[in-house]
Structure 1
Amino acid sequence: MRALAGRSARKRSGTYLVEGPQAVREAVRFAAADVRDVYVTDDARVAHPEIVDEALEAGLFVHPVTDEVAHAMSGDAQGVIAVLTARATGEIDSIPSDATLVAVLSAIRDPGNLGAAIRVADAVGADAVVLAGECVDPASPKVIRASVGSVFHLPVLRAPELRESAAALKERGLALVAADVSGADELGRATEPALREPHAWVFGNEAWGLTDDELAVVEHVVRIPIPGQAESLNLATAAAVCMYASLFARS
């Protein structure tokens, strides 16, 4: 089980690890068909009885384990661990035809950033998250932990590189809006009209952002105002600012 922290073990076994009460609770509630086993220590069972109750009601296997065994399985699970069967990640064609807000994450390599961005997309009610190009594995325990279970709430889809995916997004009536320091328009009132229409926010790699080729397929390039001395915002923070701007533009 501990080996499932690595991508190769997940690929060989066709399973992945979910750690911690919040993430396991959401897996049991929203992805019960994929849950193979739930492991709970005595203290965790007392602290989170709803997880055990809902798992048993769903007909899942719940195993009591000692603190030592739980720690051997995962060093950061707070006594609650689950193993899920890995399903094939959906493709970009699975985006609902009536989608109005999508987050597109291109070449994201940091699992904490990816998980946090998925959590933001879930919080604002996005219809899907699209992982374009070579992104970190969304079944990584670090991604799931950072998403706090949001990976189980909305579709997280795989796609080719952004240049190849743009047509599929536009076919669904989604305008592409990129967050990039090169943007001619500053996020604010001037960009609200575009954000009231169906659109997909596009966020680039943490280190180099979006390439010129990627920016070329985007209709709107928007920069986030930074009047202070900070050089930039990290990916997850930028995603939160931009996607909440979409939410506010529609309210």
Structure 2
Amino acid sequence: MTSLRLKPATRTQLQRAAKLHRREQRTRHGQFLVEGPQSVREVLAFAPEVVRDLYVSEGAFESYPEIRELAAGTGVWTHSIDDDELRDLSGDAQGFVVVADVPVQKGAAELLAEAPLAIAAVGASDPGNVGSIVRSADAAGASAVLLTKGCAEVTAPKVVRSTVGSLFHVPAATNLNLEDIIDAAHAAGMQVLAAEGSGEWDLPALVQSAYGAGVAGGPDLTRPTLWVVGNEAHGFDGVDISRVDAQVAIPLYGQAESLNVAVAASICLYTTAMAQQSIG
């Protein structure tokens, strides 16, 4: 069995790590927290180069031996701390916390080059929703998540926890301009579709067309596609989406006034992914 790279944690080190719950500290140090066994396992497996330190409570490796193997195999600095110290560091650790470097962000043009599917969120300010969008994008096989200014910070602890490790599978770029995102998508040969309740196209009609039924002439879901979703409460109010190729409505068959933005994003992503998979 490969040995762990063990080192005692200093009080200063633990205090500095705990401060990363605050945005200004994450920005100052270019670091963020990854909490919980699922997310820690994924960052060790898929992005070990960003891991600075792994903090583990006593006995945690016994429950998750695969994390021990990953920590030993990647050679990350591992610090065994007691339960009280871990609680001070994170209330959501479940035995494991990683301090990671914020990765260098790629631009929209690089992320969308040759991308079959991606999603952009405009003003999505709820951390749980942003995390869920990243997770759904990962599950649907999307190539990137693009977040405009005003979206929740992707390295905020609640966002990272909500992705349940998907943040280390699919790249997410933040603080972008919607116009630049649309330009990059068009340059990459993608169609840009906005999920809008009053859209001129209904999603079921596009599904039927993609599978060879219904009326043709609308957006083709089998093509490379960038979906754009709006703010949780206000949609695209005050946002110029005139440059998208089409606005598409998800029908509501019950009495709900609207869909949660993360749910809408998931529907759009999965509908498109299934249409694209159907043509091989």
Query: Given the two structures, how large is their TM-score scaled by the length of structure 2?
Result: 0.86
The answer on whether the counterparts of 1:91 and 1:158 sit within 8 Å (CA) in structure 2 is no
- Determine the C-alpha separation between the residues in 1 that align with 2:239 and 2:135: 28
Aligned-pair CA distance for 1:116: 0.4
Give the 4+ runs in structure 1 shifted more than 6 A.
Answer: none
Aligned-pair CA distance for 1:163: 2.5
Residue number among 15, 33, 42 corresponding to 1:17 in the alignment = 33
Aligned equivalent of 1:228 = 254
Aligned equivalent of 2:223 = 197
Aligned equivalent of 1:83 = 99
The answer on whether the counterparts of 2:135 and 2:163 sit within 8 Å (CA) in structure 1 is yes
Q: Counterpart amino acid of 2:240?
A: E
Answer with 209-218 or 136-145: which moved more. 209-218
What residue ranges of structure 1 are gaps of 5+ in the alignment? none
- Determine the C-alpha separation between the residues in 2 that align with 1:19 and 1:72: 13
RMSD between superposed Cα atoms in Å: 1.5
The answer on whether the counterparts of 1:163 and 1:213 sit within 8 Å (CA) in structure 2 is no
- Determine the C-alpha separation between the residues in 1 that align with 2:189 and 2:139: 22
Q: Does 1:247 align with 2:273?
A: yes
Aligned equivalent of 2:122 = 106
Task: Provide Cα deviations, 1:30-62, integer angstroms capped at 9, x if missing partner.
Answer: 110110111111232111111121111111111
Q: Look up the SS of the partner of 2:119 in the other structure.
A: strand
- Determine the C-alpha separation between the residues in 1 that align with 2:169 and 2:179: 27
- Determine the C-alpha separation between the residues in 2 that align with 1:28 and 1:155: 16
Q: Look up the SS of the partner of 1:182 in the other structure.
A: coil
What residue ranges of structure 2 are gaps of 5+ in the alignment? 1-16, 211-219
The equivalences for 1:50-65 within 5 A come to 50-65=66-81
Percent identity between matched residues is 39
Larger Rg: 2
- Determine the C-alpha separation between the residues in 2 that align with 1:7 and 1:159: 14
Q: Counterpart amino acid of 2:29?
A: S
Aligned equivalent of 2:183 = 167
Query: Given the two structures, how large is their TM-score scaled by the length of structure 1?
Result: 0.95
The answer on whether the counterparts of 1:175 and 1:199 sit within 8 Å (CA) in structure 2 is yes
Paired residues in the alignment total: 251
Q: Look up the SS of the partner of 1:56 in the other structure.
A: helix
- Determine the C-alpha separation between the residues in 1 that align with 2:264 and 2:24: 31
